[in-house]
Structure 1
């Protein structure tokens, strides 16, 4: 009994340990608040059925005893009818032939909502952990693998402890107590010695299997991360003809995982052999002692009936089954706890940015932005930004320029509050954004990134992502502003309902950036961030989008990161970064007149671009001529001599003076001088 109690306490300790860690982690606690709540009556009914099942397990051997005793006394089957009815009822409740009885099936039916709640725990990471931090330190495949194993293990551990290990321990305690009271204490001592020998071997080998399991999980995460990485970058793999290299790398990851898997399976097999030998020897010795020493002598002496012998042998058999399966259930619990521990370790990582308990909701009207003596470094690394200060008034445009690694992208991350500065303040309309909630800040900002990644959904879904409540008409209007509408209608038979593929691979780079621009326009933000937002566009489309953006975003503060200085010459303020510091700031003309770093950068780009300016002019003239020719052929009733490229800018009509506009759009005056 002491050994059984030790098993129960150990299982309870490790389970409560894991559950307390999960509840102390705000992520899982938040998730469980959103999960479907279980009615208390369901939980109570489950435990009542569990206890009734334990009573039935003891009652079944008693029913066998009654039937055998009635038959032995009268020799007439009819005399045992009442006992047979009780035996049939107990068998119906308990189940037979490896199938659960009515009690177990009803309990499982009531337990279904908890299983669903544990699956809903997969929502937790997407709502609470720091996505930027997790993605920068862990591959996506590894993260999803850890979360999938961890959330699945929550339900597995609870069900194994509550419905398998717990009931088996209660059954063993009841059987040992019954035999100790009704038979000589030696019977219970033999069983207890068997269990006491069984437990240490199980724990020792299982703990070693647990260490192997942790290494298996690590290698499994690396294997899945490698596979995901290959799939996401398959074009790069093909371009560099690295298929053999990647397959070899993935094969080595599989081999390393299978080595640990073999070790774990071998340990489990050895444990099963040791457990089987112990159970067979211990319980066989107990059965022999009970049947020969106790039962036979008791029956001959008239102290015991034949039914008592059947009762005792049934109890011994009821002990053999729990011990045989106990090791498997304990390994299942330990495996689940290891998987849960990996998930909790991931979710318990301190986020880079967290909202203060008294954080306010930021309200933005004009979008004024200020960096006041801001410094920043990633972790314990060297400073990336050093005491930078600049300001852009609401409705104005600020451009950030500088060499690669000068800190431009870090400035944007601080503005979006993916990180908090190590010194200084970032202010929006005079409010320190570290004192506001992250969601309220980002609600007023739209970003058009250089590397646009789209959801594997329709074009309409990706544009509407800027404002999920937008109507179809608003989506199409934003697409017209971004000069993607005509290409969507003409190139794709399904139009806006066309699936863009994973990461938008069915669209060209320019089309993806125009979808991102349309998404930002639809959001109608107070602050618009363009991070090399036209890098994948041709010159004509780039100029049209910039001009249209200037016309439609007059009340929007625009922050532009650009390498091509010609694209930001009209910015109100240009901030030149060098080595994480502000080298100079001013308008385009002011910076040229100073003859500093910006002027030198401008001169270099002008010299490098002098050879391409002539080609660009020829491109514009040729496009105008071809479009005009197509228009004349259409008027004459002939088909155009060439098919329009789907990757061409959406210049679907040409006017007599060479300007372009989409169908139904009026050409902005600012485009007449392009």
Structure 2
């Protein structure tokens, strides 16, 4: 869930986040050092220019002019090297940070994704990490060199003329004081813009990922208005930001211009009365111009700091979420072992009970079916066995082993899962069949499992066959074809435990007949758990559990339940008309 943002930048949190990216600090310090050396070279130039101007009457000092040119070029080269190092440092940090956050997201528990929009996570991964990089590789080094440049300029100015320096020391903080309220407002707007961008990203992802539902539901008007509301909010925030910046920069420019004119007039007067040389006034003006840029950079730094603070909180909130545990060493022993749910309770985060005191036993190499009204908790049972969620009470065992103590990756490798909406990822048919598997498979092996799933026929008719692209979410294959590819994938995994969640639902009779044949082959010699959609699917099950309102109302064979459980008899009468 999104955490409430605080208004202060927490350096400790920021440093912890950067450390997690394992940065190359030598690039930061070397780049910063080169930047400081370049800044020092720029600070020396006006001092040399002072001597050059004061000696104009005697002619131009060639060596001094060359020294000034060398300092200019040398400072530019050092600045370029500094920028390259800092850019490399920042890009590495953001790459490592994104990899760290991506790895974290991949291993987060399913309940986290139930509560957070995917588009928001995308914004965190892309936009927020960019804010961190901007602060670390650009804003922070620029702020350090700006402080150095300000302090250095004032020191040189004090040495040259303390009276004019005092005027500057009074005027520059006054500029900051005038700008501070405006900068605070800009910081607040920047954080608001960041959050609204994440919300908008979430809205876009949700809408475009289900664009067919949008069109089938004639929901274009609703989505247009909903998206338009967020766009308008972004517009209003952007307008505020633009107005503040439109006021801030001209105000700062006007103030600095007034300062320059005032100092120029004061300096001209002192040159006229002979208390200051022309070279000193020329150098002083050069230092004044060197002060203007750092003042502007330091003013913007507070805005960058606010954005990075929000980004830090967002990324840390993700990194602090609990992950699925993959480091168990106990390997599952499934062959000839019964699977059992013992007094299992489950509730989602809102506390509303979904399952209450559920007891189920699936003997090895048998078929167990779950039937019951929609929303009674059947799919939740399979999700608990898959370990997408944890029971709030009770335990699930395989033999004498609690499945939560088993190596998670090995446990899931032992499970084949085919659902009503079998997931297909963008890529080729070959990629979908071998998705998540470490082994290499020959074309012959892939064609074999496709044949077992009655899917080889339509795959051979495709232009690229195994290398045919299925499109985003498998849009280029039909529902029946998608199901048969999922069954072929299950054949390839050769699981000990098979789970079928209404695998033939919403299919035409021809597709259903093919898939039923494929499933019959797949179920042979395996412990199979079925959520039934057709009566023919469950009548031959070794054990049927009737789930009603999160509880097991009764269990037995089809005939036993017809004779002993009125609810089951009524349910069969209503739901399984064939």
Say yes or no: TM over 0.5.
yes
Q: 2:241 matched to 1:264?
A: yes
Matches within 5 A, 1:560-571: 560-571=530-541
Correspondence for 1:217? 194
Separation in structure 1 between the aligned mates of residue 529 and residue 112 of structure 2, nearest angstrom: 27
Q: Give the equivalent residue in structure 2 for 1:62.
A: 47
1:88 pairs, out of 69, 80, 84, with 69
User: Does residue 113 of the first structure (1) align with residue 83 of the second (2)?
Assistant: no
- Is 1:315 aligned to 2:310, yes or no? no
Q: Does the CA contact (< 8 Å) of 1:67 and 1:84 recur in 2?
A: yes
Q: Deviations over 1:396-429 (max 9, x none)?
A: 3222211111111211221122221111112233
2:4 corresponds to = none
Q: Tell me the residue number matched to 2:164.
A: 187
1:532 aligns to 2:502 (yes or no)? yes
Give deviations 1:330-386, integer Å, cap 9, x for gaps: 3334334334433434x15634x6439x74443334264221111111123221111
CA contact under 8 A between 1:376 and 1:384: conserved in structure 2? yes
Among 503, 506, 517, the alignment partner of 2:476 is 506
Partner of 1:274: 251
Change (3 A) 1:113 1:266: same
**Contact in 2 for aligned 1:413/1:419 (Cα 8 Å):** yes
Q: Distance in 2 between matches of 1:17 and 1:190?
A: 38
The alpha-carbon distance between structure 1 residues 537 and 134, as it changes in their structure 2 partners (threshold 3 A), is same
Q: 2:497–2:526: 8 Å Cα contact kept in structure 1?
A: yes
TM-score (ref. length: structure 2): 0.89
1:331 aligns with 2:303: yes
How big is the shift at 1:164? 1.4
- CA gap of 1:525–1:197, structure 2 versus 1, over 3 A, is farther
Match of 1:489 in 2: 460
Q: Secondary structure at the match of 1:506?
A: coil
Structure 1 residues 201, 422: CA separation in 2 closer, same or farther (over 3 Å shift)? farther
Residue 48 of structure 1 corresponds to 33
Matching residue of 2:141 = 163
Instruction: Show the counterpart of 2:425.
Output: 455
Aligned in 2, Cα 1:574/1:268: closer, same or farther, shift over 3 Å? same
Q: Residue 9 of structure 2 aligns to a residue in which SS?
A: helix
Partner of 2:368: 398
Alignment of 1:516-665 (within 5 A): 516-539=486-509, 541-606=511-576, 608-609=577-578
What's 1:355 paired with? 325
**Residues 15 and 424 of structure 1: CA distance in aligned 2, closer, same or farther (over 3 Å):** closer
2:446 pairs with 1:475: yes
Q: Tell me the distance in 2 between the aligned counterparts of 1:566 and 1:200.
A: 80
Alignment match of 1:142 (pick from 103, 120, 125)? 120
Per the TM alignment, residue 172 of structure 1 is displaced from its structure 2 partner at its CA by 0.3
1:398 and 1:296, CA in 2 relative to 1: closer, same or farther beyond 3 A? farther
Q: SS of the counterpart of 2:357? A: strand
SS in 2 for 1:467: coil
The aligned counterpart of 1:364 is 333
Distance 1:448 1:551, change over 3 A: closer
**Structure 1 contact 575–582 (Cα < 8 Å) conserved:** yes
Partners of 1:339 and 1:44 in 2: CA distance: 24
8 Å CA contact 1:532–1:561 kept in 2: the answer is yes
Contact 1:459 1:499 in 2 (8 A): yes
State how 1:121-140 maps to structure 2 within 5 Å: 121-129=97-105, 130=108, 132-140=110-118
Q: Tell me, in whole angstroms, the C-alpha distance in 1 between the residues paired with 2:499 and 2:267.
A: 83
**Runs (4+) off by over 6 Å:** none
Closer, same or farther in 2 for the Cα pair 1:138/1:173, shift >3 Å? same
Residues 549-571 of structure 1, C-alpha deviations (whole Å, 9 max, x = no match): 44455443222112323212222
Distance 1:339 1:433, change over 3 A: same
Partner Cα distance (2:12, 2:48) in 1: 41
Could you tell me which residue of structure 2 aligns to residue 22 of structure 1? 17
Take 1:318 and 1:382, find their aligned partners in 2: how far apart are those partners? 65
**1:626 counterpart residue number:** none
> Relative contact order: is structure 1 or structure 2 higher (C-alpha 8 Å, sep ≥ 6)?
2
How many angstroms apart in 1 are the aligned matches of 2:536 and 2:329?
40
Given that 1:463 and 1:518 are in contact with CA atoms closer than 8 Å, whether structure 2 keeps it comes out as yes
Gaps of 5+ in 2: 1-7
Q: Give the whole-Å Cα distance in 1 for the aligned partners of 2:386 and 2:265.
A: 76
Please report the TM-score for the alignment, with normalisation by the length of structure 1: 0.77
Kept in 2: contact 1:370–1:389 (CA 8 A): yes
Give the secondary structure class of the aligned counterpart of 2:546.
Answer: strand
Q: Report deviation, 1:466.
A: 5.1
Question: Are residues 1:253 and 2:230 paired?
Answer: yes
Aligned to 1:342: 314
Deviation at 1:153, TM superposition (A): 1.1
> For 1:197 and 1:435, how far apart are their aligned partners in 2?
65
CA contact (8 A) 1:291 1:313 kept: no
What SS does the corresponding residue of 2:376 show, helix, strand or coil? coil
Larger Rg: 1
* Cα-to-partner distance string for 1:17-46 (whole Å, 9 max, x where unaligned): 4514636xxxx83xx25xxx63x5434432
CA shift, 1:450, in A, is 1.4
Deviation at 1:581, TM superposition (A): 1.0
CA distance in 1, matches of 2:13, 2:312: 7
Report the number of matched residues. 566
CA gap of 1:70–1:458, structure 2 versus 1, over 3 A, is: same
Q: CA deviation at 1:249?
A: 3.0
Separation in 1, partners of 2:127, 2:479: 36
Q: Which residue, 190, 209, 226 being the options, matches 2:203?
A: 226
Q: Distance in 2 between matches of 1:125 and 1:531?
A: 32
Structure 1: runs of 5 or more not aligned: 1-12, 95-100, 610-674
**1:236 and 2:206 equivalent?**
no
CA RMSD after TM alignment: 2.7
1:15 to 1:59, Cα distance in 2 relative to 1, 3 A: farther
Offset at residue 463 of structure 1 (A) = 1.4
Q: Match for residue 644 of structure 1?
A: none
After superposition, the Cα gap between the structure-2 partners of 1:202 and 1:479, relative to the gap in structure 1 and judged at 3 Å, is farther
